[in-house]
């Protein structure tokens, strides 16, 4: 299977190939990431097997990858607790799927702002909002208006956290003590904007490398997060025992 090193660098063989083709190594890393995404897409299309998983405390984490809503609608009626990353929270609620938690990580108010949160629904359904040490105080003030507290989780320092998806998985692993993380919509990848996705991919790989084999089940349809330690299937073919 095509891959980069754990640190996101080219392997020696890939470096030699980039040199032969006279392609800068950063550009060639984007080529490799595209190859990974293409291989994973073929794998996903051909993987129709039922996956049986023994789990006493699973959780679903919903990310905002391309066409994530096509996969998320399958969650309707599930009894498994759901973590919705901030951008997904309103669309998910509009589908009639109420998350147990909403996670928000970034501090940039211009991007993560009030428009991403339905505070009336958060209040009505008692959804707990989870922030980090980066989350700005405006969130606390908005929640105070509905008599709710922002729970701040300061992730442990052994991992680089570059996105709300990893932050959500860490919260589930450490604070909720979940034994299985089911990923939906974690298929982010865009060849025309490779650098941020390289960081995203590398940080996920570093984090997953320290988790038990099979802790992560990826039910996203494509993307970069596949490999030896990760189980995968269509969500409709997942059976939690």
Q: Is the pLDDT of residue 155 over 90?
A: no
pLDDT at residue number 156 = 62
Q: Is the pLDDT of residue 9 over 90?
A: no
Mean pLDDT score across all residues of the chain: 89
pLDDT at residue number 192 = 65
Query: CATH number of the domain that 176 lies in?
Result: 3.90.1480
pLDDT band with cut points at 50, 70 and 90 for residue 68:
very high
pLDDT average, residue stretch 16-43: 86
Rounded CA-CA distance 138/69 in Å is 28
- C-alpha angle with apex 74: 216 to 77, nearest 5 degrees? 100
Q: Is the residue at 157 inside a domain?
A: yes
Rounded CA-CA distance 136/33 in Å is 33
Instruction: Give per-residue pLDDT as tens, 97-150.
Output: 999 999 998 888 888 899 999 999 999 999 999 999 889 999 999 999 999 999
User: How many domains would you assign to the chain?
Assistant: 1
| Residue-number span of the structural domain to which 170 is assigned | 51-240
Tokens of 107: 């501090």
Percent of the chain with pLDDT strictly greater than 90 = 55
132 SS3 class: coil
Rounded CA-CA distance 95/82 in Å is 14
Q: Within the chain, what is the greatest distance between any pair of CA atoms?
A: 62
Q: Is the residue at 108 inside a domain?
A: yes
Question: Virtual CA dihedral for 197, 200, 201, 207, nearest 10 degrees?
Answer: 180
Instruction: Name the pTM for this structure.
Output: 0.91
Rounded CA-CA distance 201/67 in Å is 19
pLDDT at residue number 1 = 63
Rounded CA-CA distance 94/210 in Å is 35
pLDDT at residue number 234 = 93
Strands (E), 135-209: 151-152, 180-184
Q: Is the pLDDT of residue 84 over 90?
A: yes
Q: Is the residue at 209 inside a domain?
A: yes
pLDDT average, residue stretch 187-196: 70
| Better-predicted residue by pLDDT, 7 or 15 | 15
Q: Is the residue at 210 inside a domain?
A: yes
Q: In this predicted structure, which of 1-10, 14-23, 93-102, 119-128 has the lowest mean pLDDT? A: 1-10
Q: Is the pLDDT of residue 158 over 70?
A: no
By the 8 A CB rule, do 59 and 176 touch? yes
């Amino acid at each position: 299977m095509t891959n980069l090193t754990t640190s996101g660098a080219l392997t020696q063989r890939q470096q030699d190939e980039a040199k032969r083709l006279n392609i800068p190594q950063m550009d060639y890393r984007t080529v490799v990431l595209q190859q990974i995404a293409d291989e994973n897409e073929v794998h996903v299309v051909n993987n129709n097997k039922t996956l049986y998983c023994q789990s006493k405390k699973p959780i679903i984490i919903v990310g905002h990858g391309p066409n994530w809503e096509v996969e998320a609608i399958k969650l309707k009626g599930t009894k498994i607790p759901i973590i919705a990353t901030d951008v997904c929270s309103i669309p998910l609620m509009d589908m009639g799927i109420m998350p147990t938690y909403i996670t928000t990580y970034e501090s940039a108010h211009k991007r993560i702002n009030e428009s991403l949160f339905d505070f009336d629904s958060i209040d009505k359904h008692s959804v707990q909002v989870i922030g980090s040490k980066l989350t700005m105080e405006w969130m606390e003030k908005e929640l105070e208006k509905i008599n709710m507290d922002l729970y701040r989780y300061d992730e442990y320092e052994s991992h680089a956290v570059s996105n709300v998806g990893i932050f959500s998985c860490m919260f589930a692993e450490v604070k909720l003590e979940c034994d299985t993380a089911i990923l939906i919509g974690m298929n982010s990848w865009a060849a025309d904007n490779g650098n941020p996705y390289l960081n995203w991919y590398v940080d996920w790989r570093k984090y997953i490398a320290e988790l038990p084999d099979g802790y992560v089940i990826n039910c996203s349809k494509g993307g970069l997060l596949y490999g030896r330690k990760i189980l995968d299937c269509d969500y409709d073919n997942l059976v939690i025992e």
